């Protein structure tokens, strides 16, 4: 059992939880909790290490067994030490280090979401969860967007990371992916055509900008058209994740009824 905070595995996990650069260099990230670990196990994700406490639930113990049966190393950790790593108030007693997967985009893209300067981790995670639910084929992460594999994003994503291709790209790369097949729509508060009036059935990429500064100049340059959500109330704009949810499911509605 691991009892020291100086243990190399504990230090590695702490670094992965705390620093984007470490995650990118190690090509690894950490998930926390039984629900996310179950999702990762069911999705066949490649794990490198499992850390658990003695008071882990029976459901959590089943997840640990599932990973160890695949040859993944599992270590019991003193409960207080595992709690010190947790980003939540009450740890569920389970952390899993996963290997970052190589991202392969579908050959025929017709439904893509671009997150542009979405800096709030909770918003980005909710946006990814919504994208997975709507059947988006891939999410492209523009410069200035939060790290998709940060702990808060992973928690809010609720397993979406295991079902969606995620690509961090610059705008030149994204334009190359989108042309000539995908029409790029930029979500804009108070400008553009109402989403109910646009034909959103053709192959497209939807750009959702950040909460504070909105879309970047590069996003505006790449967009072929603006789309807006009519708001008869007095709010100036919506939370980025909520706006994305409305627009993505309007696309789904139109395509289901075409």
pLDDT per residue of the chain (258 residues) written in tens, 0 to 9: 999 999 999 999 999 999 999 999 999 999 999 999 999 999 999 999 999 999 999 999 999 999 999 999 999 999 999 999 987 767 789 999 999 987 788 889 999 999 999 999 999 999 999 999 999 999 999 999 999 999 999 999 999 999 999 999 999 999 999 988 999 999 998 888 999 999 999 999 999 998 777 789 999 999 999 999 998 876 666 789 999 999 999 999 999 987
Tell me which of 99, 131, 157 is where a domain ends: 99
| CATH assignment of the domain containing 202 | 3.40.1280.10
Query: Is the domain of 130 the same as that of 216?
Result: yes
In this structure, are 85 and 120 located in the same domain? no
| 117 CB-near residues (< 8 Å, 6+ apart) | 142, 143, 144, 145, 209, 210, 213, 214, 215, 216
Predicted pLDDT at 232? 80
Tell me: do 131 and 70 sit in the same domain: no
As for how many domains the chain has, the answer is 2
**Residue 89 and residue 69 in one domain:** yes
User: 68 and 24, same structural domain?
Assistant: yes
For residues 120 and 227, membership in a common domain is answered with: yes
44, 67, 99: which is the final residue of a domain? 99
The reply to whether 32 falls in a domain is: yes
Do 129 and 217 lie in a common domain?
A: yes
């Amino acid at each position: 059992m691991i009892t020291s905070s100086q243990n190399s595995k504990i230090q590695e996990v702490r670094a992965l939880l705390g620093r984007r650069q470490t995650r990118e260099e190690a090509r690894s990230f950490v998930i926390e909790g039984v629900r996310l670990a179950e999702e990762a196990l069911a999705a066949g994700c490649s794990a490198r290490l499992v850390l658990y406490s003695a008071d882990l639930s029976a459901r959590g113990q089943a997840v640990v067994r599932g990973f160890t049966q695949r040859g993944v190393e599992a270590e019991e950790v003193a409960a207080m030490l595992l709690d010190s790593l947790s980003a939540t108030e009450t740890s569920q007693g389970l952390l899993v280090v996963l290997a970052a997967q190589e991202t392969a985009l579908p050959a025929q893209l017709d439904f893509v979401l671009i997150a542009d300067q979405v800096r709030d981790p909770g918003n980005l995670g909710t946006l990814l969860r919504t994208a997975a639910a709507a059947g988006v084929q891939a999410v492209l992460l523009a410069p200035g967007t939060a790290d998709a594999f940060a702990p808060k994003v992973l928690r809010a994503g609720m397993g979406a990371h295991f079902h969606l291709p995620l690509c961090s790209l610059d705008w030149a790369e994204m334009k190359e992916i989108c042309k000539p097949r995908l029409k790029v729509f930029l979500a804009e508060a108070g400008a553009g055509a109402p989403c109910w009036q646009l034909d959103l059935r053709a192959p497209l990429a939807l750009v959702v900008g950040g909460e504070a500064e909105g879309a970047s100049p590069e996003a505006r340059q790449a967009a072929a058209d603006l789309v807006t959500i009519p708001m008869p109330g007095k709010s100036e704009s919506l939370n980025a994740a909520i706006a994305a949810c409305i627009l993505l499911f309007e696309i789904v509605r139109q395509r289901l009824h075409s």
